[in-house]
Structure 1
Amino acid sequence: MQAELASPTRTELDKTLNTFATLQDQLLEMGEGLIRALPDMAIAFVILIVTWIVAKFAVRIADKIIGKTEMRPSLKNLVDTFVKLAIWLVGLMIALTVIMPGLTPASLIAGLGIGAVAIGFAFQDIFENFLAGVLIMLREKMRIGDVIECDGITGKVEHITLRETYVRKLSGEVTLVPNSMLFKNPVEILTDKVERRHEVLAGVSYDTDLDQAADVIRTAVESVDEVLTKKGIDVFACEFNSSSVDFKVRWWAGSKPRDGHESRDKVIRAIKRGLDDAGIEIPFPYVTHTFKEAVPLGGKSDS
């Protein structure tokens, strides 16, 4: 009875010992393989260091060559990025073939192609912004330093990367805008030119001589230093308002938002001063009440 109980215990012990022996052999084999691979790993590590050095010097050389041209800063960043990317791809392929000798460049490229499809589906938004960033850098418009307006965001372009664009709002905050948003939606570039047309409405009373009022307004606008008189000044009677005849006054000044605010401030002040000096009323809204029956202005008291 005791022998029958001891026999299964010995069998389980033998199995356990065999498992440990197999595991030990596998660990020893992995350790020996790792030791044999150490020289190749060291060579691959050296290749990566050389790749980093070569990429760094290649970017400097590219900067020197580009510096002699009038290339935009955003396009310069794009060239630097592609130079580094190309060198690192070559360096990584060489390092992988050193570690895994059976891996050929053809099989590596094929594997990268299959992996790129899988990664493309998984990171569709990232690649969309990447391609949009490349196209934004390639196009001539929207340079760094421009003030733009897109989808309710107004600000100054500070930096363009392959993923996003840094837009500094006029109130001081910075907004990280995905490149796909700037590529898909209409973008208004406020500072594409150094000059921009501004406008304001000026109203005069109905009993005013409109020709005289137009001359007074034009003279007032011409007196403002910030106004570019060579570009012309427009004074158009545009609307019969509830209590005034409105003129649309248009002039040219600097395209920056600050330039627009300053010129508009001085133009409004000049128009107000000119109309006051000419005795022309700038009416404010008023209401006329009409009654069916006459309303007595005074009456006898009940006492």
Structure 2
Amino acid sequence: MNYIGTLRDQLQSMGKGFIEALPSIAIALFIILLTWIIARFAVRISDMIVGRTEIRTSLKNLVDTVVKLTIWVIGLFIAAVVVMPELTFASLLAGLGIGAVAIGFAFQDIFENFFAGILIMLREKMQIGDVIECEGITGKVEHITLRETHVRKLSGELTVVPNSILFKNPVEILTDVEQRRHDVVVGVSYDTNLDHAADVIRRAVEGVDLVLASKGVDIFAQEFNSSSVDFLVRWWAGAAPRAGWESKDKVVRAIKAALDEEGIEIPFPYVTHTFKETVPISQLGESSKPTP
């Protein structure tokens, strides 16, 4: 059998087929380029239409993604039909059906994050600009895509979080409302009149400009500590982390100044130290020596 001749014939046939297919490939490439241009213009038109509405930014991103994806699917299918005229929509679906199981197992995490991203964009809560906390990550949501969410941590670092994590785990939205409750623990000495101390603390907290006194200030005698009776002080202020820190700073300063003015002591905790001394066995009495 002439293997070299057979190989030469096959290569010639493949080359001839490739040359004959060049016009179809060129047309397909032109269709792909046209699809890219149409997709860009379609997204701009979608932004103009959706921009006139009051829907959330995440939904606008979802609409843009769906429009772009739809145009690309149609364009690629047309390009494939130009290159392979025998390809039909039914045969394409059949081919996708055969490989769907294998593709699903191979790209399980990608599909999980993809569908989680769609559901995150559709739900009303957790919008772009919210400060969230999830799985030890605290930061501001900057961008939501179909696969991942960009969270800017309060220290400045950008964390890219897979959407499946935000969808399957509890997410605490710190800025869901404009105000939230903050608290601090204040200890006073045991010889203090607790009713008087509570009144002093209440007046001090209500006098802070960042505190929403209209929503009330709670002061509870919480527990007997080692050197003090502890009060739990709670108030309402801005929901953003910085607003909470600023209000807590002013509240702590105001309480300290008010208690000092009234002569109410904030005691130091008592610390008990245990000292151990090592003594050689030779210095121990006969009764103190260990029994063998």
TM-score between both structures, scaled by the size of structure 1: 0.86
Q: Which residue of 2 aligns with 1:292?
A: none
Describe the SS at the equivalent of 1:142. coil
Q: Which residue of 2 aligns with 1:204?
A: 188
- Give the RMSD, CA atoms, in angstroms: 1.6
Partner of residue 249 from structure 2, selected from 265, 269, 282: 265
Structure 2 distance, partners of 1:136, 1:152, is 19
Superposed displacement of residue 229, structure 1? 1.1
Q: Which residue of 1 aligns with 2:109?
A: 125
Structure 2 distance, partners of 1:239, 1:68, is 56
The structure number with the bigger radius of gyration is: 1
The aligned runs of 1:216-235 (5 Å cut-off) are: 216-235=200-219
Superposed displacement of residue 216, structure 1? 0.7
CA deviation string 1:208-265 (max 9, x = no partner): 2222111111110111111111111111112122222211111111111111111111
Percent identity of paired positions between Structure 1 and Structure 2: 74
Q: Which residue of 2 aligns with 1:190?
A: 174
Q: 1:204, 1:282 within 8 Å by CA — same for their partners in 2?
A: yes
Matched, 1:33 2:17: yes
Structure 2 distance, partners of 1:74, 1:94, is 31
Matched, 1:155 2:139: yes
Superposed displacement of residue 287, structure 1? 6.7
CA deviation string 1:153-186 (max 9, x = no partner): 1111111111111111112211111111111111
Structure 2 distance, partners of 1:68, 1:166, is 26
Q: Which residue of 2 aligns with 1:114?
A: 98
Partner of residue 179 from structure 1, selected from 147, 150, 163: 163
Could you tell me which runs of 5 or more consecutive residues in structure 2 were left unpaired when the two chains were aligned. Answer: 274-292
Q: Which moved further from structure 2: 238-247 or 120-129?
A: 238-247
1:30/1:241 CA distance change after superposition, 3 Å: same
Partner of residue 237 from structure 1, selected from 221, 224, 233: 221
Superposed displacement of residue 23, structure 1? 2.4
Aligned residue identity for 1:235 = I
Describe the SS at the equivalent of 1:159. strand
TM-score between both structures, scaled by the size of structure 2: 0.89
Superposed displacement of residue 288, structure 1? 9.4
1:85/1:287 CA distance change after superposition, 3 Å: closer
Structure 2 distance, partners of 1:179, 1:222, is 42
Matched, 1:55 2:39: yes
> Paired residues, what number?
273
Describe the SS at the equivalent of 1:276. helix
